[in-house]
Amino acid sequence: MAMNVSELTPQPTTAVTSRWRRIVTPIPAPASIPVIERLRAAEPQSMAGLPPILWDQAEGFLVRDRFGNQWIDLTSGIVLANAGHSHPRILEAIRSATDQRLLATYAFPSEPRLRLLEKLITLSPIPNSKAILYSSGTEATECALLLMRRHGQQIHPRKVGIVSLAGHYHGRTLAAHLASGMPQPTDWIERAQAQHFQIPAPQSLTGPPGNSHDGPCGAECFRSGITALAERGVGPEHIAGLILEPVPGTTTMPLPHDFATAAADWAKQHNVMLAFDEIQCGCGRTGKFFGSEHLGVTPDLIVLGKGLASSLPVSAVIGRSTLLDLPLPGEMSSTHGGNPVCAAAALANLQVLEDERLIDAGARTGAVVMERLGGLQRDYPQSIRAVQGVGLFISVHLRKPTADEPDVELADAIAQAAVRRGVLMFTTGRGYLKFTPPLSIDVEAAMEAVDVIRECLIERISAI
Ligand SMILES: Cc1ncc(COP(=O)(O)O)c(C=O)c1O
What DSSP string describes 81-119?
Answer: -TT-BT-HHHHHHHHHHHHTT----TTS--HHHHHHHHH
Going by alpha carbons, the residue nearest to atom 4 of ligand 1 is 170
Q: Coil, helix or strand for 236?
A: helix
Residue 422 neighbours by CB under 8 Å, 6+ apart: 16, 18, 20, 21, 22, 23, 69, 70, 71, 72, 452
CA–centroid distance for 361 within its chain: 19
Min mean pLDDT across 16-20, 209-213, 276-280, 315-319 is at: 209-213
Min mean pLDDT across 34-38, 97-101, 263-267, 404-408 is at: 404-408
Task: Kindly state the helix (H) or strand (E) to which residue 345 belongs, with its residue range.
Answer: helix 340-355
Q: Ligand 1 center to residue 434 CA distance, Å? A: 16
Q: Coil, helix or strand for 20?
A: coil
What was the pLDDT predicted at 213?
63
Q: Ligand 1 center to residue 171 CA distance, Å? A: 5
Atom of ligand 1 nearest to the CA of 176: 4
Has residue 86 got a pLDDT over 80?
yes
Has residue 5 got a pLDDT over 80?
no
Ligand 1 within 6 A of CB of 137? yes
What was the pLDDT predicted at 207?
65
Half-sphere exposure of 176 (CA within 13 A, CB side): 19
Ligand 1 within 6 A of CB of 427? no
Q: Which ranges of 199-314 would DSSP assign to H, the alpha helix?
A: 219-231, 257-269
DSSP state of 438: -
Ligand 1 within 6 A of CB of 307? no
Domains of the chain, earliest start first: 16-83+357-463 (3.90.1150.10), 88-355 (3.40.640.10)
Q: Ligand 1 center to residue 280 CA distance, Å? A: 7
Going by alpha carbons, the residue nearest to atom 3 of ligand 1 is 170
Q: Ligand 1 center to residue 81 CA distance, Å? A: 14
What was the pLDDT predicted at 248?
96
Task: Kindly state the helix (H) or strand (E) to which residue 418 belongs, with its residue range.
Answer: helix 408-420
Work out the pLDDT band at 412, boundaries 50, 70, 90.
very high
Has residue 349 got a pLDDT over 80?
yes
Ligand 1 within 6 A of CB of 245? yes
Kindly compute the dihedral angle of the four CA atoms of residues 439, 306, 56, 360, in this order, to the nearest 10 degrees.
10
What was the pLDDT predicted at 185?
64
What was the pLDDT predicted at 402?
86
Q: Ligand 1 center to residue 3 CA distance, Å? A: 17
Atom of ligand 1 nearest to the CA of 313: 10
Atom of ligand 1 nearest to the CA of 245: 1
Atom of ligand 1 nearest to the CA of 136: 10
Residue 403 neighbours by CB under 8 Å, 6+ apart: none
User: CB 109: neighbour CB atoms within 10 A?
Assistant: 7
What was the pLDDT predicted at 301?
98
- Of 3, 35, 53, residue with least CA distance to 423: 53
CA distance 315 to 34: 34
Instruction: Give the mean model confidence (pLDDT) for residues 119-130.
Output: 98
Instruction: Give the mean model confidence (pLDDT) for residues 441-456.
Output: 98
Choice from 165, 169, 276, 311 to test ligand 1 binding pocket (greatest atom count within 8 A of CB) = 169
Work out the pLDDT band at 190, boundaries 50, 70, 90.
confident
pLDDT > 90: what percent of the chain?
Answer: 88
CA distance 385 to 373: 12
What was the pLDDT predicted at 414?
98
What was the pLDDT predicted at 189?
67
What was the pLDDT predicted at 168?
94
What are all long-range contacts of 384-388, with beta carbons under 8 Å and residues at least 24 apart?
384/457, 385/208, 385/209, 386/208, 386/209, 388/209, 388/251, 388/252, 388/253
Has residue 383 got a pLDDT over 90?
yes
What was the pLDDT predicted at 180?
86
What was the pLDDT predicted at 404?
80
Choice from 165, 280, 311 to test ligand 1 binding pocket (greatest atom count within 8 A of CB) = 280
Atom of ligand 1 nearest to the CA of 173: 11
Residue type, 208: P
Beta strands (DSSP E) in 338-447 are 384-390, 393-398, 423-424, 432-435
CA distance 252 to 396: 10
Instruction: Give the mean model confidence (pLDDT) for residues 241-250.
Output: 97
Q: Coil, helix or strand for 1?
A: coil
β-bridge mates for residue 11, sequence order: 27
